């Protein structure tokens, strides 16, 4: 095993360079100065998401987030975007299961303008009916496209298998049936009931003094009050599947099959998450997508792409293996993947393999933190999962101390090759067998999608 990268801890975000304040209304503010940059990034979230929706209104949180900038008490849709574009800034919102997130960027000198806009769209949106109706049509178009994508349909089917009866089974963006009935009235009600300062996080990184940024946020947001109890964002645990739970989605006109198989993994705040992330890197991330990419794609030539991904969010997100294959190679690919899952729970990685993955984890940290966006995202992530503002300074040592037996233990905790959810989507099965060419040894060729990975 080679020597691990040595990082200068003083250059990493930590208590000496991160300002953290809590406002009286429950907002947490964080900031880090970077005067080598002329810009500032604003990142954060509110504790309200699709968990607050009724199942027959799935997509409401996403519609609410997307509607925020469609009109306010002061400005119409076009005026809002003119205000943003006139200073070369950006401001975006999105929804997930547990939160409404926002991200923004502008020149440091325009931070006040950006915060005024953020305050305005969060607190005083009007959700004009015409704009919400237009947005609903856009969302329905997007859902129609999603329903014809093999990768998306396989992922949806996987979630229905692994999270049956659990809130995570319902897609955040909703379905065509649920979104079609959403109205501006529904959006206004969701905003009025769930948008509140308690639990909100705002992080500012860039060319502005941290205390000045803190005062700017306090001036605009400290008077925001909300009545009633904060929403419950807890989710139940997920039991692993019993046996091999399988589903295949047939889509006309498709030539490729997408495969998603796995189980529920740890949340980001689970003490074993870092170990699981390293195990996942070994399994299907490192180099040409780890062991799975090597065996399934490079050696057997059965997949156009094959990798593993670990969600690591607020709850028990999925630990998946994802592959795009010729339909006639589907069963072979599944068995090879199960073989690699068996290996990772039967014996620990050797010292060289573990050392290479540790070096990868440590060495890529400065690259993840080289931009204001990267620093802001990392700080918000650490706050969200109670990792501490000294987490990044401790991180290299945490990684360096991981042992082979710990990797084996965490793999055995979460992975069982005989108890998996296996979902695939592709051309309909013809005559009991998938349509497509006969199995062959020729390596698959094709564009690889961007692999999804766990965060530090």
DSSP label at residue 208: S
Please give the model's pTM, rounded to 2 decimal places.
Answer: 0.90
Contact 64, 46 (CB under 8 A): no
What local confidence, expressed as pLDDT, does residue 431 receive?
Answer: 52
Q: Tens digits of per-residue pLDDT, 227-251?
A: 767 778 889 999 999 999 999 999 9
Contact 78, 124 (CB under 8 A): no
Q: Tens digits of per-residue pLDDT, 55-109?
A: 999 999 999 999 999 999 999 999 999 999 999 999 999 999 999 999 999 999 9
Backbone phi, psi, residue 276, to 5°: -65, -35
Contact 320, 249 (CB under 8 A): no
DSSP label at residue 456: -
Domain boundaries, the chain: 9-221, 244-434
Query: To the nearest 5 percent, what fractions of the chain are helix, strand and coil?
Result: 45, 20, 35
- Reported as half-sphere exposure (CB side, CA atoms, 13 A), residue 184 has a value of 14
Contact 314, 383 (CB under 8 A): no
- Reported as half-sphere exposure (CB side, CA atoms, 13 A), residue 168 has a value of 23
Q: What is the mean pLDDT of each run of 10 residues along the chain (456 residues)?
A: 86 97 96 97 96 95 98 96 95 97 98 97 97 98 97 97 95 97 97 94 98 98 84 88 96 96 96 98 92 94 95 95 96 97 97 96 96 97 96 97 98 97 92 42 40 48
Which residues lie below 8 Å from residue 215, measured CB to CB, with a gap of 6+? none
Contact 175, 160 (CB under 8 A): no
Given phi > 0 = left and psi -120 to 50 = alpha, else beta, which region is 339? alpha
Q: Please give the CATH topology (third level) of the domain spanning 9-221.
A: Cytochrome Bc1 Complex; Chain A, domain 1 (3.30.830)
Three-state SS for 116? helix
DSSP-assigned letters across all residues of 171-206: -TT--HHHHTT--HHHHHHHHHHH--STT-EEEEEE
Given phi > 0 = left and psi -120 to 50 = alpha, else beta, which region is 59? left
Three-state SS for 72? strand
What local confidence, expressed as pLDDT, does residue 282 receive?
Answer: 97
| Angle of CA points 317, 321, 324, to nearest 5° | 130
Q: Burial-class residue 285 by CB neighbours within 10 Å (0-12, 13-18, 19+).
A: buried
What local confidence, expressed as pLDDT, does residue 330 receive?
Answer: 96
Exposure string of 210-224, with b = 16+ CB inside 10 Å and e = fewer, is beebbebbeebbeeb
Q: Burial-class residue 302 by CB neighbours within 10 Å (0-12, 13-18, 19+).
A: buried
What local confidence, expressed as pLDDT, does residue 451 receive?
Answer: 42
Handedness of CA 142, 148, 150, 153 (dihedral sign): positive
Distance, in Å, from the CA atom of 320 to the CA atom of 308, rounded to the nearest integer, reads 5
Contact 393, 12 (CB under 8 A): yes
Backbone phi, psi, residue 429, to 5°: -70, 130
Three-state SS for 55? helix
Backbone phi, psi, residue 304, to 5°: -75, -35
Contact 324, 258 (CB under 8 A): yes
What local confidence, expressed as pLDDT, does residue 229 receive?
Answer: 72
Residues across the chain? 456
Contact 423, 244 (CB under 8 A): no
Q: Can 9-221 and 244-434 be said to share one CATH topology?
A: yes
Sheet holding 257-264, edge to edge: 244-250, 420-426, 257-264, 318-325, 303-310
Closest CA to 252 of 333, 147, 152: 147
What local confidence, expressed as pLDDT, does residue 446 receive?
Answer: 41
Q: Out of 3.90.340.10, 1.10.10.10, 3.20.20.70, 3.30.830.10, select the CATH number for domain 244-434.
A: 3.30.830.10
């Amino acid at each position: 095993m080679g020597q691990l990268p040595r990082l200068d801890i003083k250059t990493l975000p930590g208590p000496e360079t991160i300002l953290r304040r809590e406002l009286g209304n429950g907002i947490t503010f964080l900031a880090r100065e970077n005067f080598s940059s002329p810009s500032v990034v604003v990142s954060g979230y509110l504790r309200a998401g699709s968990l607050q929706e009724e199942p027959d209104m799935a997509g409401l949180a996403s519609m609410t987030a997307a509607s925020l900038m469609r009109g306010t008490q002061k400005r119409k849709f076009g005026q809002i975007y003119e205000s943003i574009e006139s200073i070369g800034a950006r401001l975006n919102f999105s929804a997930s299961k547990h939160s409404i997130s926002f991200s923004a960027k502008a020149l440091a000198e325009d931070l006040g303008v950006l915060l005024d806009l953020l305050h305005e769209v969060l607190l005083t949106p009007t959700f004009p009916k015409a704009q919400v109706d237009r947005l609903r049509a856009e969302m329905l178009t997007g859902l129609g496209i999603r329903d014809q994508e093999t990768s998306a349909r396989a992922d949806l089917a996987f979630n229905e298998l692994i999270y049956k009866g659990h809130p995570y089974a319902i897609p955040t963006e909703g379905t065509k049936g649920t979104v079609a009935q959403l109205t501006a009235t529904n959006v206004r009600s969701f905003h009025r009931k769930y948008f509140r300062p308690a639990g909100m996080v705002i992080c500012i990184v860039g060319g502005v003094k941290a205390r000045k940024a803190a005062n700017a946020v306090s001036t605009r947001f400290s008077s925001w009050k909300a009545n009633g109890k904060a929403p419950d964002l807890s989710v139940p645990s997920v039991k692993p599947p019993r046996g091999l739970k399988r589903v295949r989605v047939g889509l006309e006109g498709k030539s490729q099959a997408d495969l998603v198989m796995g189980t529920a993994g740890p949340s980001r705040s689970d003490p074993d998450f870092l170990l699981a992330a390293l195990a996942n890197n070994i399994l299907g991330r490192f180099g040409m997508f780890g062991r799975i990419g090597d065996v399934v794609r490079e050696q057997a030539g059965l997949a156009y792409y094959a990798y593993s991904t670990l969600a690591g969010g607020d709850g028990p997100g999925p630990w998946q293996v994802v592959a795009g294959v010729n339909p006639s190679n589907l069963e072979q690919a599944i068995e090879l993947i199960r073989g690699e899952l068996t290996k990772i729970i039967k014996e620990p990685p050797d010292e060289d393999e573990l050392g290479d993955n540790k070096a990868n984890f440590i060495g890529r940290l400065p690259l993840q933190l080289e931009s204001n966006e990267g620093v802001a995202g990392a700080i918000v992530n650490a706050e969200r999962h109670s990792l501490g503002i000294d987490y990044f300074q401790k991180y290299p040592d945490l990684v360096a101390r991981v042992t082979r037996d710990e990797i084996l233990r965490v793999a055995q905790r979460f992975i069982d090759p005989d108890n998996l959810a296996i979902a695939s989507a592709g051309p309909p099965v013809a005559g009991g067998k998938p349509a497509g060419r006969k199995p062959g040894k020729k390596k698959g060729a094709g564009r690889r999608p961007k692999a999804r990975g766990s965060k530090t």
